Structure formats: C-alpha cells, structure tokens
Amino acid sequence: MLVLAIESSCDETAAALVRDGRTVLSSVVNSQIASHRPYGGVVPEIASRAHVEAFPAVVAAAVQEAGVPWSAIDCIAVTHGPGLVSSLLVGLSGARALGQALHVPVYGINHMEGHLAALFLDPAVPDPDAVSPALVLMVSGGHSCILEMRTFGDYRILGETLDDAAGECLDKGATLLGLSYPGGPAIQAAATGDPHFVEFPRGLAHTARTATTPDGLDLRLCLSFSGLKTSLRYYLQTHPDALPDHLPDLAASYQEAVMRALAERAENAARKTRAKTLFAVGGVAKNALLRAKLADLSRRRHLDLHLTPLAYCTDNAAMIGAACGLRLLRHLPLPLALDADPTLPLVDA
Ligand code: ZN
C-alpha cells in the first residue's frame, strides 16, 4: 500500500511517500520558519500564501525522491485537522486535485494521530498491538496532552493543558529572553547555566484527590503554563540587570520548569494506568532534557520508552502517511477528505 501524504496544517508544507504505514520512501518538508521569525510566531496569512507557493514543488520532489511512478500511488492522505483553517485548505485542495488526476481516494487524517503514528516510522518500535496499552505524552507548539493508547486508533485523553501548549510556552519564554523563534531549540541552545537559578512555578499545584476540570479530567494530569510565562516576565521586570549575564541560567531554569511539569504529569498518569509503554511525540519531544527525564521515569516505573525519531518530531508528511497506512492495514475507519476541521478532536466526545 503506497500512500502519498500531504501535511499543511501550520507552517510546514510537506509531502511524503510511505509504504504500508512504516517505510518512508521520501519525506520533503518546506519550512516557513524564516518568514515567521520576525513575528515570534506563525502568522496565518503568511502561512497559507507560502503553502500555495510551495505545494507543487514539494509534492513533485517527494514523488521524484521516492523514485516511483505516479501510477504506483494507491491513495492520498492529507491532514484535515486540527490546524489553521487557511493552511489546511491549501493541502486539502491540492490533495483533492491530485486524487482526481490520479483516480485514487483521498483520505483525511487527524494531525495529532499523525504525530503518534510517527513513532512507528522507527523500525525498532514493535507493532502497535505489541506496545499497547501505552501512555502518550503529545507535546508540540499546538498541543500538549497526555493520553492512553489502548491500541492504534483507540485513545483516551487523560490530561491536557488548560492554557498554552508546551511549545507555545517555550516560544513566549524565548521572546521574553530575547531569543529567536522557534523558542524550543533556541532555549535549549542557550540553557547552559544553572537550572535551579530561579525555581519557576510548576503550574497547577492542585493536590486534592478529586479535583477535575469541567471536562472531568484529573487536574493532576493536566498542565498549565501561563503562570510560568508570567513569572519569567515578572522576574525580568524586577531584575532588570539579569540579562544578558544570566541568560544561560534563566534559559536553563525556564526549560527545567517546562520539562519538569511534563515529566511529572507523565509520572502521575503512569501511576493511574496499566500502560506498559511510554511514548513521547511532537516537536517538544525533540528536547534533550525532556528525553532524559522520560528515560529516568521509564526506568523507575519499568515502562518501555519509545521516542519519536528526531527527524519526525516536528510537522512532516511521513507521519500522515504512517497514520493512513496503519489505519488501512488495520481496517479502521478513514474519512474521505472533504473539508477542513480546524478543531478536529482526536477522541470523539
Ligand atoms: Zn504538529
């Protein structure tokens, strides 16, 4: 089963050819980071225009790199949500046009399931059934949640952020520290100082056993980053001479607070489930400190740890092809990609 996959939900225009959900023949990503850097975040209008410009060349390059004829493509998989609606629509329109030209079906893939499927692009990771039930820490610029994967396609959200996503928190912290966008890699590079120079708050200090969100999620498994960002701003206001001398210490302390919050919530979730595996997926899963904390957690709690290959942590189309292939092989429902859904949930309410 050869899938041509397309991803355009945020600021990467990407296309890939993936065989049977696990083998990447090509993966082309056109990043728009430079266009958004002056604004410290993604500007939707700039993103959708850049997708339109990049789309034809990115798809052609993916097919050419794979070294297969167009006629070998069995179907097209395209992200139909969640994401920026104007960006999603570019990928969807392109995918539908290609589907008509090639006379193949066009399937809509959930971007978050794509991030999860990226794990299985690592040949060392066993098939989904062998690693389930698994605890999944999904952390990126757009999403931060902890979920239980009963098996591929069957998920339960255990906790999520109540405000900013982890990647967004890193972006905002980087801006306050005068570092560049995207914030995660910039903070990691700058964080050579003392991670305990400032003890920033963990966010959500709820300890009550029964505390839940309005959606019924256990607050001990939820995240909140808005207080952390505010405390960095407050620290800089009250210590106007801290920069630039203490940049390495402040970056290290801020990074420590974000990654500690994620690892603590993952540990709380591990106590509440019978998961035998721990996964980390999404752009923030690239962070070396988070990877080290999760390795420590998995040793202590006897969990098998699988981290997304670094090349597939941030947005790409190979992960969309993986999700589509895994769904097809497992005879799971696949919607025909008709419309963009910017708030598409991973789990139906
Ligand atoms: Zn993403």
Question: Which residues are paired to 156 by β-bridges?
Answer: 148
Q: Could you tell me the end-to-end alpha-carbon distance of the chain, in angstroms, rounded to an integer? A: 31
Identify the residue whose tokens are 């966008």. 181
Cβ atoms of 54 and 13 closer than 8 Å: yes
**Ligand 1 centroid to 48 CA: how many Å?**
16
Helix (H, G, I), strand (E, B) or coil at 61: helix
Separation of 243 CA from ligand 1 center, angstroms?
A: 32
Please give the distance, rounded to the nearest whole angstrom, from the Cα atom of residue 146 to the centre of ligand 1. Answer: 15
> Which residues are in the CB-under-5-Å shell of ion ligand 1?
140, 315
Please give the distance, rounded to the nearest whole angstrom, from the Cα atom of residue 202 to the centre of ligand 1: 24
What is the distance between the alpha carbons of residues 139 and 186, in angstroms, rounded to a whole number? 17
User: Is pTM, for the whole model, over 0.85?
Assistant: yes
Q: Is pLDDT above 70 for 159?
A: yes
Q: What is the DSSP string of 110-121?
A: EHHHHHHHGGGG
CA 299/CA 291 separation, integer angstroms: 12
How far does residue 110's CA lie from ligand 1's centre (Å)? 10
Q: Among 91, 115, 87, which Cα is nearest to 10's?
A: 87
Confidence category of residue 337, pLDDT binned at 50, 70, 90? confident
Pairing of the two strands 277-281 and 304-307? parallel
Residue 208 CB-density burial (10 A; 0-12 exposed, 13-18 middle, 19+ buried): exposed
At residue 40 the predicted structure's pLDDT band, cuts being 50, 70 and 90, is confident
112 C-alpha to ligand 1 centroid (Å): 7
Number of H helices, E strands in the chain: 11, 10
Q: Please report the domains of the chain, with CATH numbers, ordered by start residue.
A: 2-117+313-329 (3.30.420.40), 126-307 (3.30.420.40)
Amino acid of residue 265: R
Q: Ligand 1 centroid vs 115 CA: distance in angstroms? A: 7
User: Does the pLDDT value for residue 251 go beyond 90?
Assistant: yes
> 153 in the Ramachandran plot: left (φ > 0), alpha (ψ -120 to 50) or beta?
left
Does pLDDT of 206 surpass 90? no
